[in-house]
Amino acid sequence: MTRPTRGRPALVLVALIAAATLLNACGGAAGGREGGGGSTTPVEGGVLKYRTTGANLSSTDPGVHTGYGPAIPVRGIVDSLVFQNESGEFEPWLATEWKVDETASRYEFVLRDDVTFSNGEELDSSAVKQSVDALVEQGAKYATVNQWIGRLREISTPAPTTVVFEFAEPNSSFLQAVSTTSLGIVAPETSAMSYEERQEGTTIIGSGPFVVTESRGEEGYVLERREDYAWPPASAQNQGPAHLEGIEVFTTPDNSIAAAQLRAGEIDMMHNTEPVDKTEFSNNPDLTIRRDPLPGSALGFTVNTEVPGLDEPEVRRALALAIDRDAVLERASAIDIPPTSLFAANNPYWTDQSGLISTDVDEAARLLDEAGWERGEDGVRAKGGARLSFDLIYSPSTISHEPNIAVVQSQWKDIGVELTFGSLTAAELNQRLVSGDYSFSWGSSTRPDVDILRSTYAGLDPELDKVFTQLQAEPDIEAKRPLADEAVRRILEQGYFVPLYDFIQPLAYRNTTHVPTLEASTIPILSDAWLDRS
């Protein structure tokens, strides 16, 4: 009965796609006529619609959000003791001044005395102590944050406006840690809650320019302006209540759909963009995509030196030399840039180390020959039963980099090295990392601090560990720089890290959205943000 109809579903499909594309193109053209221009005088009012991705999105608990995207709206809820500005320097915020002892084991902060939380409680030294103690007491539930806090011995409150942190061992990165959203100060009412209660969405009370008023579960939440806010960091342009009336947080899981929503003006700002959309955004007259790299490390491969083959410095150096980074970048988005150090170019401790990142395929092959790795029948080099066959593991958020990784795979194949790669769930990834069951992991630290070196490379190399110990005990940023350089040089020379490129951090917004002030982590200060009224 339905004899010659096989082709029809395909036809219907093609027609639908054509219709969608056509309509989309029309929409795009129409959208092109409105457009930015935009004045520079802030406009009051409006609700910023922001889309984020990540885990635990129903939670507004600063302590669980150490990733960039979810931290942005949480930044509006809580303030921090100090502010790390875009050039990496620290400014007063809730603390007006601070003292660090010469071993970086004792931090004393003097607090503002005019700050209140949105529930009316006052910010004093005891509130700060409770806020940080609550994180420490929960231990592994706030695993990352506690790693940043380090070996805290005691928090004391000699005066209502003085709070002192004392450490069992030096932690010169603590100032950077307290500047993060994750260590933002919450009200005593919130500090007294159980971990579970803190995850409910509307229970986090801070002193920030916005207050959570509505939770939409996994779909996001709503923030409203606090009318009596008056204590932003000094470098904020707006010293009063936020320009925006509120912020709506959305969690559209699919990056392409979110990108389409941004183009259509359904949302104003988004985090996480696919390479193809990044390229498009950078050419779109209606949109802005920020060009700051992720402020932590360059993207690349972190080497597991326990793996046979990778335990030889010559092999590691050969692998780094065999990568033609221009070819890798061709597959990336149009705005990513070549690496110039282990640090991304906007990390406060960055210096130009591009001399240590070079390409020389012949030299790579020579190094491998010399080290005794001979090509087998399958083209993969081997020595004494071990093959130069490696795996690279990463989380699903790295999937958009796979085309670039494939370029490395083929370049390494030319010198007789096999690479396989694949994404794993956070649970499996961390299990493999903890048990050492991997050759390379994806390096993508986002903390704008020198401590990302220790956090990743501690315990590999006694010489490096020595530098790390010195770094941790050195409170002075200028004195830290040469040490940081030394560590970076050592890591690159020894091939503990194979840099690929600096990843442009994925914050994009419509030109009607203005975010004049950023932290070092490139998180915007939301009390400064404003929207053009159309």
Partner 1 sequence: MSLPSPVDTEPEPTVALDPSGSRGRTVARVVGVRLLHAVAVVAVAYTASFLLLFVLPGDAVLARIGTTDTVGNADLSGMQLDSLRAEVGLDASLGRQYWSGLTGLARGDLGSSLINDRPVTALLGEALPNTLTLTGLSLLFSVPLGFLLALVAVVPRSRAVRSLAALLPSAYVSLPVFWIGVLFIYLFAITLGWFPSGGSQGAASAVLPVAVLSLLGAAQFAQVLISSLRAEVGKTYAAVTAPAKGAGRAYTVFRHCLRNAAFPFLAVFGLRVGALLAGTAVVEVVFARNGIGRLMVESVRAVDLTVVLGLVVVLALVYVVINTLVDVGYALLDPRLRRMAPVRSGGES
For residues 78-97, which are near partner 1 according to CB under 8 A? Answer: none
103 near partner 1, rule: CB under 8 A = no
- Is the Cβ–Cβ distance between 496 and 305 less than 8 Å? yes
Closest distance of CB 180 from partner 1, Å: 10
Nearest C-alpha neighbor of 442 from the set 323, 305, 299:
299
Q: Is 120 in the site for partner 1 (CB under 8 A)?
A: no
CB-based burial label for 439 (10 Å; 0-12, 13-18, 19+)? buried
Contacts of partner 1 in 60-79 (CB under 8 A): 64, 66-68
Q: Is 37 in the site for partner 1 (CB under 8 A)?
A: no
| Comparison of 263 and 381: residue with beta carbon closer to partner 1 | 263
Q: Residues near 70 by Cβ (< 8 Å), separated by ≥ 6?
A: 52, 54, 55, 56, 57
User: In terms of residues, how long is the chain?
Assistant: 534
Q: Is 147 in the site for partner 1 (CB under 8 A)?
A: yes
Near partner 1 by CB under 8 A: residue from 32, 158, 217, 422: 217
Beta carbons within 8 Å of 353's beta carbon, 6+ residues apart: 340, 341, 342, 485, 488, 489, 492
> Could you say whether residue 8 binds partner 1 (CB under 8 A)?
yes
Q: Is 443 in the site for partner 1 (CB under 8 A)?
A: yes
Determine the interface stretch with partner 1 among 72-80, 212-220, 236-244, 328-336 (rule: CB under 8 A): 212-220
d(CA 114, CA 131): 18
> With binding defined as CB under 8 A, does residue 460 bind partner 1?
yes
Interface positions, 277-306, toward partner 1 (CB under 8 A): 296, 302
* Residue of 12, 18, 159, 234 interacting with partner 1 (CB under 8 A): 12
Rounded CA separation 5/10 (Å)? 10
> Nearer Cβ to partner 1, position 125 or 512?
512
In this chain, which of 250, 343, 349, 530 binds partner 1, going by CB under 8 A? 250
Handedness of CA 79, 83, 84, 85 (dihedral sign): positive
Applying CB under 8 A, does 1 fall inside the site for partner 1?
Answer: yes
Binding mask 220-239 for partner 1 (x = CB under 8 A): x-------------------
Q: How far apart are CA 507 and CA 259, in angstroms?
A: 11
Binding window for partner 1 (CB under 8 A); candidates: 274-282, 283-291, 342-350, 431-439: 431-439
Binding mask 325-344 for partner 1 (x = CB under 8 A): --------------------
Write down the least CB distance from residue 417 to partner 1, Å.
Answer: 21
Stretch near partner 1 under the rule CB under 8 A, chosen from 117-125, 230-238, 255-263, 382-390: 255-263
Closest to partner 1 by CB, 207 vs 446, is 446
Site for partner 1 contains 252 (CB under 8 A): yes
Q: Is 390 in the site for partner 1 (CB under 8 A)?
A: no
The number of angstroms, rounded, from the C-alpha of 46 to the middle of its chain's C-alpha atoms is 28
Q: Is 108 in the site for partner 1 (CB under 8 A)?
A: no
Among 39, 427, 533, 534, binds partner 1 (CB under 8 A): 427
Burial environment of residue 374 by CB neighbours within 10 A (0 to 12, 13 to 18, 19 or more): exposed
DSSP annotation string for 142-181: GHHHHHHH-SEEEEEEEETTEEEEEESS--TTHHHHHHSG
47 binds partner 1 (CB under 8 A): no
Spatial CA neighbour of 282 closest among 508, 505, 503: 508
Q: Interacting stretch for partner 1, rule CB under 8 A, among 340-348, 359-367, 408-416, 448-456?
A: 448-456
Query: Based on CB atoms, which residue is closest to partner 1, 61 or 124?
Result: 61
Considering the complex, state which of residue 257 and residue 479 has its C-beta at the smaller distance from partner 1: 257
368 to 387, contacts with partner 1 by CB under 8 A?
none
- Cα radius of gyration rounded to whole Å, the chain: 25
- Position 14 contacts partner 1 (CB under 8 A): no
CB of 518 to partner 1, least distance (A): 18
Q: How far apart are CA 242 and CA 277, in angstroms?
A: 30
Residue with tokens 């990056």: 255
Nearer of residues 195 and 366 to partner 1, judged by Cβ: 195
First and final C-alpha spacing in the chain: 57
Residue 83: is it exposed, middle or buried by C-beta count within 10 angstroms (0-12/13-18/19+)? buried
Q: Return the DSSP state at 123.
A: P
By CB under 8 A, which span of 55-63, 72-80, 108-116, 370-378 interacts with partner 1? 55-63
Asked if residue 150 lies in contact with residue 166, where contact means CB atoms within 8 angstroms, the answer is no
Q: Closest distance between partner 1 and the C-beta of residue 435, in Å?
A: 9
- Please report how close the Cβ of residue 342 comes to partner 1 at its closest, in angstroms: 12
The DSSP call for residue 219 is G
Beta-strand pair 47-51/246-250: parallel
Site map (CB under 8 A) of partner 1, residues 168-207, x = contact: --------------------------xxx--xx-------
CB of 218 to partner 1, least distance (A): 5
Q: How far apart are CA 271 and CA 169, in angstroms?
A: 36
Site membership for partner 1, residue 391 (CB under 8 A): no
